């Protein structure tokens, strides 16, 4: 019996301290989101909801923000920001990417032209099921490149819609050359 009494007197202050600490943790957990909202946390990607398809319906923001707002989202492999300290720097980066996109679109157009050589008639130049397959795969694969699916779907739809008339022109121009 003395052991039980001694244990209670030894652990009772410890238990009270533990309970007090737990109460503080619970209170902190309840109020932390209000003290540090998710969009203020540097490691939280507030825009992640904008990468799916379809885009979520969000209420328009009416707030005026101090510029620049948020945290840099283009990071080096070690997690340090690699861009950007000004809007001009952002635009220069976009211009560089646009030049690379044009180069890749040129290569794609060369393959589209090449594909035409393997098509026997005008009827098989455009295959809507293949067009849809390309668009769907681009949308599905977009997330592995951290590309919003809506952008992938819209871009590949536009690429296909521009490629089909080009391919028909290539097909017709070869036919016209023969006659």
Question: Is the entire prediction scored with pTM above 0.75?
Answer: no
The CATH number assigned to the domain with range 87-179 reads: 1.20.59.10
- What number of residues does the chain have? 179
d(CA 179, CA 169): 15
In tens, the pLDDT along 2-51 reads 444 444 444 455 445 544 444 444 343 444 343 334 444 445 678 888 89
In tens, the pLDDT along 78-87 reads 888 888 889 9
d(CA 115, CA 174): 13
Q: Taking a C-beta distance cutoff of 8 angstroms, is the pair 71, 44 a contact?
A: no
Burial 76-89 (b: 16+ CB within 10 A, else e): eeeeeeeebeeeee
CB neighbour list of residue 164: distance below 8 Å, 6 or more residues apart: 125, 126, 131
């Amino acid at each position: 019996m003395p052991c039980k009494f001694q244990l209670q007197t030894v652990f009772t202050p410890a238990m009270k301290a533990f309970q007090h600490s737990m109460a503080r943790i619970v209170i902190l957990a309840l109020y932390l989101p209000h003290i540090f909202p998710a969009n203020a946390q540097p490691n939280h990607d507030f825009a992640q909801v904008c990468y799916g398809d379809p885009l979520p319906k969000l209420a328009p923001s009416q707030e005026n923000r101090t510029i620049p707002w948020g945290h840099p989202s283009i990071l080096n492999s070690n997690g340090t920001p690699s861009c950007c300290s000004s809007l001009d720097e952002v635009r220069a980066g976009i211009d560089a990417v646009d030049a690379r996109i044009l180069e890749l679109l040129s290569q794609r157009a060369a393959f589209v032209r090449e594909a035409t050589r393997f098509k026997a008639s005008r009827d098989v130049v455009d295959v809507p099921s293949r067009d849809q397959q390309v668009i769907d795969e681009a949308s599905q694969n977009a997330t592995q490149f951290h590309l919003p699916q809506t952008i992938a779907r819209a871009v590949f739809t536009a690429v296909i819609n521009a490629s089909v008339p080009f391919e028909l022109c290539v097909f017709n121009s070869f036919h016209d050359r023969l006659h």
